[in-house]
């Protein structure tokens, strides 16, 4: 069997099915939320529809052929790819597929769509991979690494080494800095006593510091007293 023909068969099929779901109004809306993503690469499909389609695709024996065909043509193909990766329960396979896919992730929507099920029971093995992602030069690989710390390591698995790693990131990328702030705001809600020193001692950049305070003060998980205290810690020029 000609492998190239098999690959093109499933890729063409996926693209055709996605184009049938096109919503022009939603395309404009979602494109406006993803600056830097080529408008022509966005079809315009709501996430619930994509997730439903991904659940159908993941059952196919030839789905790896789709996953191996990178880069994808459409933004929605990337999201489908992300949703399929989420379903994989084999840790090593998930890591391998992620490391192939992450360099092609070019927006926050796709990046934030991946919380692989395999990670829940492999946090010890995941930690070294997160450190590699955060050391990357690719903005959305860094963002993904921070998000994994926020998703899986802020409860009983929390360690200040993780917060130190995030705190040490210095980036000019807006979507990296937003994730840093999101991480610390969430960490304040879950690990207040261990995280508040990062704010009191102003260990982050001024932008991340103030954005963390803003996001924490918007949270329902932060008490009124904590919010008032944080407000006094803002860096003013």
Q: What is the pLDDT of residue 237?
A: 76
Neighbour-count burial of 17, counting CB atoms closer than 10 A to its CB (0-12 exposed, 13-18 middle, 19+ buried): middle
- CA dist 94 and 122 (Å) reads 11
Any idea of the CA torsion for 11, 17, 19, 20, to the nearest 10 degrees?
A: 170
Measure the CA–CA gap between 14 and 137, rounded to whole angstroms.
31
pLDDT along the chain (237 residues), means of 10: 56 95 95 93 96 95 93 97 94 96 96 94 96 97 98 95 97 97 98 98 97 97 97 93
**Residue 204 · residue 212 · CB < 8 Å:** yes
pLDDT at residue 9, rounded to an integer: 80
Q: What is the pTM of this model?
A: 0.92
């Amino acid at each position: 069997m000609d492998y190239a023909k098999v690959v093109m068969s499933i890729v063409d099929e996926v693209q055709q099915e996605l184009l049938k779901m096109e919503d022009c109004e939603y395309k404009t809306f979602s494109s406006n939320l993803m600056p830097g993503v080529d408008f022509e690469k966005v079809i315009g499909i709501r996430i619930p529809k994509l997730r439903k389609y991904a659940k159908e695709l993941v059952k196919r024996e030839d789905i790896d052929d789709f996953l191996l065909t990178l880069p994808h043509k459409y933004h929605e193909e990337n999201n489908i790819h992300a949703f399929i990766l989420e379903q994989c329960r084999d840790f090593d396979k998930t890591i391998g597929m992620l490391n192939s896919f992450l360099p092609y992730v070019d927006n926050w929507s796709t990046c934030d769509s991946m919380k692989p099920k395999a990670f829940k029971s492999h946090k010890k093995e995941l930690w070294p991979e997160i450190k590699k992602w955060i050391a990357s030069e690719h903005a959305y690989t860094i963002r993904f690494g921070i998000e994994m710390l926020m998703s899986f390591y802020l409860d009983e698995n929390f360690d200040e080494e993780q917060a130190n790693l995030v705190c040490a990131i210095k980036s000019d990328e807006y979507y990296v800095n937003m994730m840093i702030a999101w991480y610390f705001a969430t960490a304040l809600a879950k690990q207040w006593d261990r995280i508040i020193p990062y704010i009191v001692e102003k260990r982050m950049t001024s932008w991340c510091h103030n954005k963390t305070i803003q996001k924490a003060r918007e949270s329902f998980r932060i008490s009124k007293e904590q919010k008032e205290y944080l407000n006094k810690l803002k860096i003013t020029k």
